[in-house]
Amino acid sequence: MIDTSIARPPVRWFLRGSSPSRAKLRLFCFPHAGGAPAAYLAWSPYLPSTVELLILQLPGRGSRIWEAPFTSMHQLAEAVGSAILPLLGDSPYVLFGHSMGALSAFEVARWLRRGGLRIPAHILVSGHQAPQCKPVRDTTLHLQSDSDLIADVRRLNGTPEEILENSALLEIMLPTLRADYQVTKSYQCTAEQPLTCPISVLGGLYDPETSREGLEAWANQTTGSCRLHMFPGDHFFVLKQATYVLPVIARMLEELI
């Protein structure tokens, strides 16, 4: 059993996008590599009114910009799992993660289960193939030059060009981005029993980071149902095509309330 007395203060770990007075369900969002909570704050108006939205703010970004970022999934899952405990309460909760966030949400759920703690009612994973699948591309990007790292971010088409051309901003952002890449590129999925909660998978039709086969393989990580939803767009379809994506997420959440 995990000692929950060491749980870290939740205030700095999660930002509240919405906080209904009578929340029936909590949705925890795990952003992508280099991502900050701001992109998900805009989701609140599109979610059911009884859903409380909490967005993970990892070290190295936002108000925690000067904190050292994690460099391994083991560190991240243990720290976030400890931070999430005081927020679980008795209501059902859902984990959503995009790209690196998908792996993070999955590993936090497994960390909670290993501790004998309540697992999510549902996990929504987006923009990442199943964790047991072979990586789509180079796993040493975090070891390469700044220019190579920037080129990869540009290829994924999710960061405004004015940011990628701002040397002052890049000086602040690149260490965190490099650390996030290290988390994902060094990640290895250890063999465990499948989770029992349902997993819903969201994918972009033109995402170079995933294949349909890799997305469908999430079914091997649960004994519950696993549904795949494909959307128009590239790797960042979940943000760029929000008008398509959010109604689907809202319907999934309504089924749990």
Integer Cα distance of 251 and 227 in angstroms: 13
Mean pLDDT for the chain? 89
Q: Which string of DSSP letters, residue by residue, matches 11-77?
A: TTTEEEEE--TT-SEEEEEE--TT--THHHHTTGGGS-TTEEEEEE--TTSGGGTTSPPP-SHHHHH
Instruction: Give a yes or no: residue 115 inside a domain.
Output: yes
In this structure, are strands 226-231 and 25-30 parallel, antiparallel, or unpaired?
Answer: unpaired
179 lies in some domain = no
Assess if residue 161 is contained within a domain: no
- For the stretch 26-49, pLDDT in tens is 999 999 988 888 888 889 999 999
pLDDT, tens only, 170-192: 888 889 999 999 999 899 999 99
The whole domain housing 53 covers: 4-138+189-254
Q: Look at residue 256 and tell me whether its pLDDT is greater than 70.
A: yes
Query: With contact defined as beta carbons under 8 Å apart, do 245 and 238 qualify?
Result: yes
Where does residue 34 fall: left (phi above 0), alpha (psi -120 to 50 degrees), or beta otherwise?
left
Supply the residues annotated as catalytic: 99
- What ranges make up the beta strands (E) of the chain? 14-18, 25-30, 51-56, 93-98, 122-126, 199-204, 226-231
Q: Give 252's pLDDT tier (boundaries 50, 70, 90).
A: very high
Residue 240 within a domain: yes
How many structural domains are present in the chain?
Answer: 1
Question: In the chain, what is the straight-line distance between the N-terminal and C-terminal CA atoms, in Å?
Answer: 29
Residue 124 belongs to a domain: yes
Torsion of CA 229, 234, 237, 239, to 10 degrees: 160
In one-letter notation, the amino acid at residue 235 is H
Domain assignment present for 15: yes
Residue 172 lies in a domain: no
Which pLDDT score is estimated for 3? 42
Identify the CATH number of the domain in which residue 68 sits: 3.40.50.1820
Report yes or no on 183 lying in a domain.
no
- pLDDT of 1 > 80? The answer is no
Banded model confidence at residue 257, pLDDT cuts 50, 70, 90: confident
Return the pLDDT at 67. Answer: 92
**Chain mean position to CA 185:** 15
